[in-house]
Amino acid sequence: MSPQDPSNSRFTFGKASLMPQEEMLEVSKSKKQLTIGIPKESQKFESRVALTPEAVNQLVNMGHEVRIESGAGIPANYQNTDYSELGGFIVDNREEVYKSDIILKIAPMSLEEIDLLSERKVVISSLHLNSQTKQFIQKLIRKRTTAIAFENIKNEHNCYPVVRSMSAIAGNTSILIAAEYLSNFRGGKGVMLGGIPGITPAEVVILGAGTAAESAVRAAMGLGAQVKVFDNSVHRLRRLQNSIGQRIYTSVFHRQVMERTLRSADVLIGAMYMIEYGPSFVVTEDMVKEMKKGAVIVDISIDQGGCIETSECMTQVDPVFTKHGVIHYCVPNLPSRVARTASIAISNVFAPLLMRMGEAGGMNQFLKNDTGVRNGVYIFNGILTNNFIGRHFDIPSKDIDLLMAAF
C-alpha cells in the first residue's frame, strides 16, 4: 500500500490541503473509593452478617474502607479481630457506622436506625414489605436515601441471587429440623428419617417445586427418605425432576391424592408462597387431623403467611407446638439457624456488587448501567420508585428508568 494512500493515513486529502481527521480516544471510568458501614443487627433472632472478613479484605485491597460496628459478626461466629486483622475498622460508636456512604445490613432498618442516617446515603438491606409502615418509607424519603431491597436484586441470568441462596439453605435446613423432631429426644416418635436395610424409610411430602423445595428434596433423598412432591405447575415439577436427575413421585394438587398421601406421611415440608393468592392454604386443618400422630410439619413459608392452615408463626426460642397430634415447626428466617453459612452466601453476592460499584465510579453511574441491581431500588435520592409501595401507602412514585435518564 502506498504511503500516500488515504486508507493508510490519519489525514484526509482535500482539494488544497491535508485536513487532520478526528481520532477517538478511550475515556477510562473514574473509580470511586467507597466507605461501607456494617452495623450490628438490632432485630431479634437475626444472626447473619452482610460481609465476611474475607470479603472485607477483598474490598480493602481495592481501596475501599469498611467500618464494622463492634460485635456485628459475633452471632455468626466472626470475632472483631477476624475483621480487624483483614483490614476492617472496628467501630464502637454506631453513629460513625451510619455516616458511611453505603450502609449494608440484613434486616430492614428500624425507625431509630433511620434517625442515625446522614442525608443522601445508600442503604442496602431486606425490605419485608408486608411488615413495613408508611412512616418507615417517609423517613427514608426525608433523608433523601437511596434504598435497595436485596431480595429484589437480579443477576445477569435474570435470577434473584440472594433469595435463591437463602431458599436453598432454608430447604436443606428444613429436612435436618424434621429429622431432629422425629427423634424421641425432641419428643417425636423415635423414627430415623432415612431408615436402614430391612426397615421402610420415612415418607417426606414436599409442597412446592421451587429452589427451597429442590434443596429439601436433595437433602431428604440424601438421607434415604422416600420423597413425594406436589405443585400446581406441571412445568415446575418437570423442571425439578430434570434437575434432580432421577424419577421421583410428583403430582399436581388433587384433594383426594393429597389426603391419601398425607395419611402415611412422616414429614410435611411447606415450601410454597401463597401470599399473591391472598389467604389460602394447600393443606387444610382437616387434612392435618388425618395425619399420623407424631408426624412433623415444617412450614418454610410461614414468613409469608404459610401454606398449611394449622401453621402459626413461632420464634427460635419457642419454635414448636403440637396440634392434632402433629408436631409443627413454623419459624421464619430459617437461614439464621446456620448463620455462618448464610452470611457467606450473602457476602458472595454483596462483595462483587460493591466492587463493581466502585469501578463504575459510584452508585448513580452503577445503577445507570446495571439493570439487575436497579430492580431492587425502591427509593432513589429521596424519590419513591416502587409503584406497588406508592399505591399501598398512597405516596407518589416515579419510574426509576426515567430518573436514570437524567444522569
Cα angle, residue 178 at apex, residues 177 and 179 outer, rounded to 5°: 90
Of 374, 340, 349, which is closest to residue 162 (Cα–Cα)? 349
Rounded Cα–Cα distance for residues 336 and 161 (Å): 17
Classify 136 as helix, strand or coil. helix
Mean pLDDT of 309-330: 93
Residue where a domain stops, chosen among 332, 365, 395: 332
329 pLDDT higher than 70: yes
Mean pLDDT of 342-355: 96
Residue of 303, 324, 328, 370 marked active site: 303
Q: Which residue would you say has higher pLDDT here, 27 or 187?
A: 187
Whether residues 213 and 349 share a domain: the answer is: no
SS (H, E, C) 49-77: CCCCHHHHHHHHHCCCEEEEECCCCHHHC
CATH no. for residue 103? Answer: 3.40.50.720
- Count the domains in the chain: 2
Whether residues 319 and 209 share a domain: the answer is: yes
Whether residues 383 and 399 share a domain: the answer is: yes
Within a domain: 173: yes
Whether residues 259 and 384 share a domain: the answer is: no
Within a domain: 309: yes
Whether residues 361 and 243 share a domain: the answer is: no
Within a domain: 400: yes
10 pLDDT higher than 60: no
Whether residues 72 and 218 share a domain: the answer is: no
Whether residues 92 and 140 share a domain: the answer is: yes
Within a domain: 65: yes
254 is catalytic: no
Whether residues 129 and 180 share a domain: the answer is: no
Using pLDDT thresholds of 50, 70 and 90, give the confidence band for residue 195: confident
Question: What's the domain range around 114?
Answer: 35-152+338-404
Whether residues 181 and 248 share a domain: the answer is: yes
Whether residues 239 and 118 share a domain: the answer is: no
For residue 21, give the DSSP letter: P
Within a domain: 120: yes
Q: Dihedral of CA 104/105/106/112: which sign?
A: negative
Rounded Cα–Cα distance for residues 290 and 297 (Å): 13
Confidence at residue 4, expressed as pLDDT on a 0 to 100 scale:
47
pTM given for the model:
0.86
Residue of 82, 128, 324, 392 marked active site: 128
Using pLDDT thresholds of 50, 70 and 90, give the confidence band for residue 51: very high
Whether residues 349 and 253 share a domain: the answer is: no
